[in-house]
Chain A
Amino acid sequence: MSKSINKITSTAVPIHLENIDTDQIIPARFLKATSRDGFGDNLFRDWRYNADGTPKKDFILNNPTYSGRILVAGKNFGCGSSREHAAWAIKDAGFDVVVSSFFADIFKNNALNNFLLPVTVSEEFLQQIFAAIEKDPKTNISVDLEAQTITLGGNITSFDINNYKKTCLLNGYDDIDYLLSIRPEIEAFEQKPQTIQ
């Protein structure tokens, strides 16, 4: 897993659907592994392959016209199950950024914890991206985490991310490193009797 993200310029793969749930991103029957690797092969498994394992021609990930490190999808992306395997699968399939107008909470956290950057844009900007890629699949999108901007042609817009998470992503830190560093404070907190049930 590549740690730390900053600037990414790439073509994008658009999935023009709303409410994509994590059961679609990675179906439950592929969650039997005990390691984090190899989930990319089964990303969007049932949309991507027929029951006999042959690729479905009409699914965008099977269309060589579209490629890149940015996945673009409709609103409420990643709803449903908390399975982090969904973020692992997307990252493992070579994506570093997911753009949508709305992310489900748990997915967003899981993505951030795996250095997969969720970029929330307005519905209008999202539709502009879909239209641009439809017109020209070679359209480049640039994401600049430091500046918190996303650029499509001459069009630039900013996105939100909390400062703490931004620092983590830019520097390749994770939450555990931070939490471990304050373990004495956690232990002191545990001693305060009223705080613990």
Chain B
Amino acid sequence: MPKTLFEKIWDRHVVKTIEGGPSVLYIDKHFIHEVTSPQAFKGLEKRGLEVFRPKQIVATADHNVPTIDQHLPIKEELSRIQVQALVDNTKKHHIDLYGLGHPYQGIVHVIGPELGVTQPGMTIVCGDSHTSTHGAFATISFGIGTSEVEMVMATQCLLQSKPKLMRINVEGTLNKGVTSKDIILYIIAHISASGATGYFVEYAGSAIRSLSMEGRMTICNMSIEMGARGGMIAPDQTTFDYLEGREFAPEGAEWEKKLTEWKQLHSDEDALFDKEITIAAADIEPMITYGTNPGMGVSVTGRIPAEADPKSLAYMGLQAGAAIKGKKVDYVFIGSCTNSRIEDLRLVASFVKGRKKADNVEVWVVPGSKQVEQQAIKEGIDKVFAEAGFNLRQPGCSACLAMNEDKIPAGKYCISTSNRNFEGRQGPNARTLLASPLTAAVAAITGEVADIREFI
């Protein structure tokens, strides 16, 4: 029987299926971070259990870390205690930690692929909804809650019901100035913030295949923003080239063996999906959001829909029917697990080089990992940013969720390359406009929402 990519991976990870209930799914890799793990460790200890497979867990500190002076003790007491709890818990349970100060530290969904921990065919979970990012490598990856973190620590398994499957094909060539971020914002705007709830999505089509791994990660990352459990993309030469030689990627004969296996990971021709959508790449323009969920997006040259939710618009201080282009912004945030990889920083730098930021904006660039930061310095990208007046900070989630001190002040507008524009997401009463790194870069230079196509 023909199988989808999802089914090929799912089927080989099912330990057993409970009659009339969920399946016991074996988890290959488990990422943990400081915010959603402490209660899981406590739960485990309360039951008198050890971590079952500590070598299959990778830990990092990212959500709640400062992005300046990372070598100093964390000032805020609760944050310091939380980060320290991760240090203590991982030490006690023999789990590898890439914590503050470690050359591999960074946002969990940036470091997994960067280190080659994320590999095709795996099942991967993390107590974080953007775990879907790892699906770019043909994995079944999804976010879980803290009780589930505890389950995986205790048994390396989860109880899961098989989701419905959707395939989204993006066919054709992308327009100038259009990036993978625009593709996913376009998709979400079209199917809505709940349009894929209950589904696991496979992205396919020539436009997807033309993307780099970074670009594919951006797309899979935001699958959750349309309600999907996760997103995935079949592996190809681009995937293999990215992985080869990375720290934890297989080597030698093992690499060859894996490669043969990985090449089987694609949906068979006649495989059935519960739903299938096809989008023409040519229809996609640079996108921006105007509202308070990621589905509220339009082309940068578009107008805010007349029927847009009034409560959202009141929060955003925007008018139905108005153009979004030309809207003044106060902050630009280039970062988060959606767009903080080296390729994103290179793209921004290539546009910004020789230009200066507008006086009315403050620009924060927060690299996704220590390795991204170091690479940026090696390539002189740090200098390009310094000359433009951008503030290059240290790795972490930062203003994506504003858990540390990186908050956008109340009422201010921020163009952000992150993935969520919920009320208060970037700080109480902060107003977020989601966009691609290029659209963020052009806003940094002009101080307003602008169309990158007029500048390149």
Contacts and interface: CB of A to CB of B under 8 A. Distances in A.
A110 B24 CA distance: 17
Interface in B189-229: 193-194, 197-198, 224, 227, 229
Interface stretch (B12-20, B96-104, B351-359): B12-20
A104 interface: yes
Contacts of B47: 176
A163 B20 contact: yes
A179 B159 CA distance: 8
A92 to B, nearest CB: 13
Nearest to A24: B423
Contact of B20 (A28, A162, A182): A162
Report the contact-size class of chain A (Cβ under 8 Å from the partner): 35 or more
A154 to B, nearest CB: 31
Interface string B131-154: 000000000000111111011001
A183 interface: yes
Given A24-B423, A195-B13, A195-B26, A79 B155 contact: no
Given A79-B193, A196-B28, A165 B21 contact: yes
Nearest to A177: B47
Interface in A177-197: 178-180, 182-183, 185-186, 189-190, 194-197
A31 interface: yes
B242 interface: no
Contact of A29 (B156, B194, B403): B403
Interface of B: 12-13, 15-16, 18, 20-22, 24, 26, 28, 35-36, 38-39, 42-43, 47, 49, 52, 63-64, 78-79, 81-82, 85, 119, 121-122, 127-129, 143-148, 150-151, 154-159, 161, 163, 193-194, 197-198, 224, 227, 229, 293, 311, 401-403, 410, 420, 422-425, 428-429
Contacts of A165: 21
A186 B422 contact: no
Interface in A63-103: 75-76, 79-85, 87, 102
A136 interface: no
A144 interface: no
Nearest to A50: B428
Contacts of A176: 43, 47, 147, 150-151, 154-155
Contacts of B121: 197
Nearest to B250: A197
B230 to A, nearest CB: 10
A164 B20 contact: yes
Contacts of A79: 193-194, 197, 227, 293
Contacts of B52: 183
A155 interface: no
Interface in A95-132: 102, 104-106, 109-110, 113-114
Contacts of A28: 63, 401-403, 425
Contact of A32 (B13, B157, B224, B403): B403
Nearest to B47: A176
Contact of A106 (B143, B158, B410): B143
Contacts of A85: 146
Contacts of B26: 186, 189-190, 195-196
Contacts of B13: 195
A36 B24 CA distance: 26
Nearest to A86: B145
Interface stretch (A6-14, A15-23, A145-153): A15-23
B159 A175 contact: yes
A46 B425 CA distance: 11
A87 B193 contact: no
A185 B17 CA distance: 12
Nearest to A181: B155
A179 B24 contact: yes
B145 A102 contact: no
